[in-house]
Structures are given as structure tokens and as C-alpha cells.
């Protein structure tokens, strides 16, 4: 009996010692666990623009006189030669006008010749004092008026002849009809476009650029061009033209990029990418999930050397699909919270781990750059 009591007392004493040892151990760390990262240098800032291959020389072709299209000889995509007739108007009225003008010229030529002959006779008579000087002066004025009417008729005849010639559209040079804008039988006003024409020769890539990128562009700036049909093949190019004003609807600026590489094989309308290196501060890249806001402006959570959170405003140059480019407010060696930023509080003490779940000693990160 005494033996069993001793065993019970010994077990109780051991249990008390065990509980006492447990209660005297370190308390668990209750600080919030946060995933941190450091900003990465974005390198030279590069922007990609989608574009379309266009002819260096593009023009819309139109009739210089109104009328109804009698014949259209080419269609969109047709290759034409310089001087080739592309379309013709119904020129019956223009021909009649030309004939009427020519008849008027002949009639006024006869009047001029008659007035000139009479002036010659009266010059002889006035010299013999057979007619008065006033009558001679009247005949002289009539002859001058007849000459002026004749010259006017000749000029009008030339205008009508020219207008008859304007009833056809001819190709200004070798090239391609890129678009057909009118059809046979259609009645047109003078200058109304009928064809869009792309001349043979140099090719450009037409792109549009937002206002925020405009300060980084300059004429002659080198770029890289990649055609969608030749993926992986990059051609050298340069900025040839920058529009002086923005498009009224899209508020973007039209930019033309010229190929430097004469070996570039292109077709009109091909899709292309233009890679443009932008000047200025390249900035730092941070994950989009690290961004929050402070007073309506972008901000990030910085983990200080003592493990406390500090919200700091930053300047964002552009937002990408997964990251944002920071140009001010952040140093590359500073640790920022990468996820769960909406749950954090200013001054909160946290435990930081990296993407591999390894603890990040804040004191080892060094003094933040200013």
C-alpha cells in the first residue's frame, strides 16, 4: 500500500515539473507574416507599338470636274503603270462645251479680222483727211475690243479643252490601287475621291502614340521593326515623321517609321510591331499586387529595418500586365510588401519572408537610399 502511494506522488511531481517547464518557454511570435520583395531595375525602358505597313507616298485620286463615271478600268489591289487610264467620266457635255468654245473662237476671229481691216482703211482715209479723227478713233476702239473678245474666247476654249481632258484619271506613277472609293454610274462632285493610290518605292510603318510618350520621341530616333509574318526577324528603322497635332477623336499622334534596311520585304497593309527605346530614368519594376494608394495616389508598403510598416507614395510611369514601372519614391534595395497590402496598418510590426518562405532579416538590407 505504501509502495503504491509513493508511485502516485512521484508521477504528480513529474507532471508539475513538466508543466512548469512548458510555461517558462518562449511565447509564440504573433506578428503578421508578410511576403516581401525588392524592386527590380527595369533596364532601358522599351515600348511596343502596333502598326501597319504603308507606302511612303500615298494619294487619293479624283476627277477635277463633276460628272458621272462611265467606266472604271481597275479594282483595288491592281498594279498600274504611270499614265495608265484608271477611270473615265461621261464626257459628252464636256465635248459639247469644247465644240461651242471653238465655234465662238472662229466667230470672234472673223470679227477681229474685219475690225482690223476697217481700221487699216480708216487709217488711210484719216491721213487724207477724208474722214474725221473721231471716226477713226471709234474704229480703232472697235478693233481693240474685237481683239480682246477674241483673246477671251481663245482662253475659254483652252479651259474647256482642259476640262474635257480632266474626264479621265491616270496613274501618276507606278504603284498599286490600295482602295476603290467609287463605282461606275456614280455621280461625283469635283475632287471627290475615286481611288486610294500607293506609289512604288519606300515603305513606312504607321503607328499612333499616346500623348504621354510624345516627349520621348524625336525625328531620326532609331527603332526596331518586326513584321507579324516574319516573327523573330527584326529590321532597323527610324522615326521619320511625327504629327504636329493629335487626332480629334483618339487624342493620339500619328507617327511614321521608315525602314533603314533595304532588304526588308513588305506588303502594303501588313501588321508590324515597333520597338522603341525611351530615354530618361529607366525606373524600377514592382509587382502590381504591391501597389496600394495614399490620398488617391499610388503607394507601396515599405518594411523598415526594425520590422515595421511604412506607407510611401511613389510615382508610376506606366502599368503593365503584371508589373508597374516606378520612377520615384522607392530605392532598389528596399523591401516592400508584395501581397495582401489592403490588410496592413501604418507602423504595424511584421515578420517578413521571401517567395521561398525564408525569413528576411530587415537589418541586413542596408540603409535605404534617398
pLDDT for 285 equals 82
What would be the CATH architecture of the domain defined by 47-55+201-277? Beta Barrel (2.40)
Q: What is the pLDDT, as a whole number, of residue 263?
A: 67
Residue 93: all three cell numbers together: 457635255
Which fold would CATH assign to domain 92-165? Helix Hairpins (1.10.287)
What is the DSSP secondary-structure string of 50-88? Answer: EEEEEESSEEEEE-SS-EEEEEE---TT-EE-TT-EEEE
pLDDT for the residue numbered 243: 92
Which pTM value belongs to this model? 0.53
Q: What is the CATH number of domain 59-82+171-198?
A: 2.40.50.100
Q: What pLDDT is recorded for position 148?
A: 92
Query: Residue 42 has what pLDDT?
Result: 67
pLDDT given for residue 327 in this prediction? 82
Tens place of pLDDT per residue across the chain (370 aa):
444 444 554 444 454 445 444 545 566 777 888 888 888 876 555 678 899 999 989 999 999 999 999 999 999 989 999 999 999 999 888 888 888 888 988 999 998 999 899 888 888 888 888 888 888 888 889 989 999 999 998 998 888 888 888 889 999 999 999 899 999 999 999 999 999 999 988 889 999 998 888 888 889 999 989 888 888 788 889 999 999 999 889 899 999 999 887 667 788 888 999 988 765 556 788 888 888 888 888 999 999 888 889 999 988 877 877 888 888 888 878 888 988 888 888 988 888 888 888 888 875 444 433 3
Specify the pLDDT at position 360: 82
Question: How far apart, in whole angstroms, are the C-alpha atoms of residue 258 and residue 261?
Answer: 9
Q: How far is CA 120 from CA 126, 128, 135, 249, in A?
A: 10, 13, 13, 71
Residue 307: its pLDDT value, please? 86
CA 196 from chain centre, in angstroms, equals 20
Confidence at residue 367, expressed as pLDDT on a 0 to 100 scale: 40
Cα atoms in the 13 Å half-sphere on the side-chain side of 322: 0
CATH number of 32-43+282-365: 2.40.420.20
Write down the domain spans for the chain.
32-43+282-365, 47-55+201-277, 59-82+171-198, 92-165
Amino acid at each position: 500500500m505504501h509502495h503504491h502511494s509513493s508511485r502516485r506522488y512521484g508521477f504528480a511531481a513529474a507532471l508539475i515539473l513538466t508543466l512548469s517547464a512548458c510555461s517558462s518557454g518562449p511565447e509564440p511570435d504573433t506578428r503578421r507574416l508578410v511576403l516581401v520583395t525588392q524592386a527590380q531595375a527595369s533596364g532601358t525602358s522599351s515600348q511596343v507599338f502596333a502598326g501597319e505597313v504603308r507606302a511612303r507616298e500615298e494619294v487619293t485620286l479624283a476627277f477635277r470636274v463633276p460628272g458621272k463615271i462611265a467606266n472604271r478600268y481597275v479594282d483595288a489591289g491592281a498594279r498600274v503603270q504611270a499614265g495608265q487610264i484608271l477611270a473615265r467620266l461621261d464626257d459628252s457635255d464636256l465635248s459639247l462645251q469644247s465644240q461651242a468654245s471653238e465655234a465662238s473662237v472662229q466667230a470672234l476671229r472673223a470679227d477681229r479680222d474685219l475690225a482690223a481691216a476697217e481700221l487699216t482703211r480708216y487709217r488711210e482715209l484719216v491721213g487724207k483727211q477724208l474722214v474725221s479723227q473721231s471716226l477713226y478713233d471709234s474704229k480703232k476702239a472697235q478693233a481693240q475690243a474685237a481683239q480682246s473678245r477674241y483673246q477671251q474666247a481663245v482662253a475659254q476654249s483652252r479651259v474647256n479643252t482642259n476640262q474635257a481632258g480632266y474626264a479621265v484619271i491616270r496613274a501618276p506613277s507606278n504603284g498599286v490601287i490600295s482602295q476603290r472609293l467609287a463605282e461606275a454610274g456614280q455621280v461625283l462632285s469635283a475632287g471627290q475621291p475615286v481611288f486610294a493610290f500607293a506609289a512604288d518605292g519606300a515603305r513606312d510603318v504607321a503607328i499612333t502614340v499616346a500623348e504621354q510618350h510624345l516627349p520621348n520621341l524625336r525625328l531620326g530616333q532609331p527603332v526596331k521593326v518586326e513584321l507579324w509574318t516574319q516573327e523573330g526577324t527584326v529590321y532597323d528603322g527610324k522615326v521619320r515623321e511625327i504629327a504636329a497635332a493629335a487626332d480629334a477623336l483618339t487624342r493620339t499622334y500619328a507617327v511614321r517609321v521608315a525602314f533603314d534596311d533595304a532588304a526588308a520585304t513588305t506588303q502594303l497593309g501588313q501588321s508590324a510591331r515597333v520597338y522603341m527605346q525611351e530615354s530618361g530614368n529607366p525606373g524600377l519594376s514592382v509587382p502590381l499586387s504591391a501597389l496600394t494608394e495614399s490620398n488617391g495616389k499610388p503607394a507601396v508598403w515599405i518594411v523598415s529595418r526594425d520590422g515595421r510598416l511604412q506607407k510611401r507614395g511613389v510615382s508610376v510611369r506606366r502599368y503593365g500586365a503584371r508589373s508597374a514601372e516606378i520612377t520615384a519614391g522607392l530605392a532598389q534595395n528596399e523591401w516592400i510588401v508584395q501581397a495582401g497590402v489592403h490588410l496592413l496598418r501604418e507602423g504595424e510590426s511584421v515578420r517578413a519572408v521571401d517567395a521561398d518562405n525564408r525569413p528576411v532579416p530587415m537589418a541586413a538590407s542596408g540603409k535605404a537610399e534617398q
